[in-house]
Amino acid sequence: MLLAALVVGSGIAAVQLSPGQVGLQLVENAAATAAGLFAIILMVGPVSGAHFNPVVTLVDAAFGGVSWRDAAAYLPAQVAGCIGGAVLANLMFDRSAVSIATHHRASGAHLLAEVVATAGLILLIFALVRSDRAERAPAAVGAYIGAAYWFTSSTSFANPAITVGRMFSDSFAGIAPASAPAFIAAQVVGGAVGYGLVRLFYPPTATARAQAAQVVLPHADPATANGAEPPASRGVS
């Protein structure tokens, strides 16, 4: 929810603060998203691993991190959160709670950009995990997404849940429903490409499965989240 609220809300604010200056609007939107993403990963990472992105969750499951059952539970929460965040952003800027976006984006160039953006995000996250640098993920992911606003023509959605959420705000950050399915398909392809790149550059090791559980941040087992001591056979991942 916070991810969608910061992306959509900063987009609305950028247009209001800098009317007619698209480049400046993009600077403002990208900067807020990069900084906010850093903050919210730190905020909820220790609770859930900061799984805001269905593609990241599915790749993590493929690497043996979260279980497929948990991944299936995360997906609807991610989508519902992003829709809720877009609605919240609309309301905070005194707009209709729901306004369906009319910004069509699904050109061939945009779709290629989404493959590249998503593959890069997956490679970044799992490269950090497999090289024992997972604690740097909040800053690295924020920096990558902030940069990808500029080096990709699609402004780097790189997330199916945020793509769905952004359909519900006819604003600078919105995406028309007709464009969303192609964007999501490109993101899934990008996730698969990223998965392959991780396996190429960081071949499976004896500890890879244990490391996978640290995506995006190491987090507590739900059974011990209230401060109870973990059973001897479990612990904190």
Distance CA(192)–CA(178), nearest Å, equals 23
H-type alpha helices, the chain:
2-17, 22-48, 54-62, 68-92, 108-130, 137-151, 160-166, 180-201, 208-212
User: Residue 170 pLDDT > 60, yes or no?
Assistant: yes
**What is the pTM for the complete model shown?**
0.87
User: Looking at residues 76-105, what average pLDDT do you find?
Assistant: 97
pLDDT band at 229 (very low <50, low <70, confident <90, very high): very low
pLDDT at 230: 38
Q: What is the pLDDT of residue 208?
A: 60
C-alpha span between 9 and 166 (Å, rounded): 11
Q: Which of 130, 141, 133 is nearest to 199 (CA)?
A: 130
CB 93 within 8 A of CB 9: yes
pLDDT class of 231 with cuts at 50, 70, 90: very low
pLDDT band for position 204 (cuts 50, 70, 90): confident
CA 123 vs CA 8, 45, 119, 198: distances in Å: 26, 19, 6, 6
Q: Which whole number is the average pLDDT over 162-178? A: 97
Q: What is the mean pLDDT of residues 217-233?
A: 49
Q: Above 60 in pLDDT, residue 193?
A: yes
pLDDT for 150 equals 97
Does residue 180 have a pLDDT over 50? Answer: yes
Contact yes or no for 12/93 (Cβ under 8 A): yes
**Span 10-14, average pLDDT:** 97
pLDDT at 228: 43
Please determine, for residue 202, whether its predicted confidence score (pLDDT) is greater than 50. Answer: yes
Q: What's the mean pLDDT in 109-137?
A: 96
Q: Are 113 and 152 in contact (CB under 8 A)?
A: yes
User: Are residues 60 and 215 in contact, defined by beta-carbon separation less than 8 angstroms?
Assistant: yes
Residue spans of the domains in the chain: they are 2-217
Which CA distances in Å does 195 have to 109, 132, 154?
Answer: 22, 18, 21
Quick one: pLDDT at residue 9?
Answer: 98
Which of 5-9, 115-119, 201-205, 215-219 bottoms out in mean pLDDT, i.e. has the lowest?
A: 215-219
Q: Give the pLDDT mean for 43-49.
A: 92
Question: Mean pLDDT across the stretch 118-136?
Answer: 96
Q: For residue 90, which phi and psi values (nearest 5 degrees)?
A: -55, -45
Q: Which residues, in sequence order, are CB contacts of 41 under 8 Å at separation 6+?
A: 50, 52, 137, 138, 141, 142, 216, 217
Contact 159/119 with Cβ under 8 angstroms?
Answer: no
What is the per-residue burial (b if ≥16 Cβ within 10 Å, else e) of 31-58? Answer: ebbbebbbebbeebbeebbbbbbbbbbb
DSSP 231: P
Q: What's the average model confidence in pLDDT over 59-82?
A: 96
Distance between CA atoms of residues 232 and 216, nearest Å? 24
Give yes or no for residue 38 having a pLDDT over 50.
Answer: yes
Give me the pLDDT at residue 233, please.
31
What is 2-217's CATH number?
1.20.1080.10
Indicate if the pLDDT at residue 88 is higher than 70.
Answer: yes
> In angstroms, what CA-CA distances link 125 with 43, 54, 142, 177?
17, 14, 11, 29
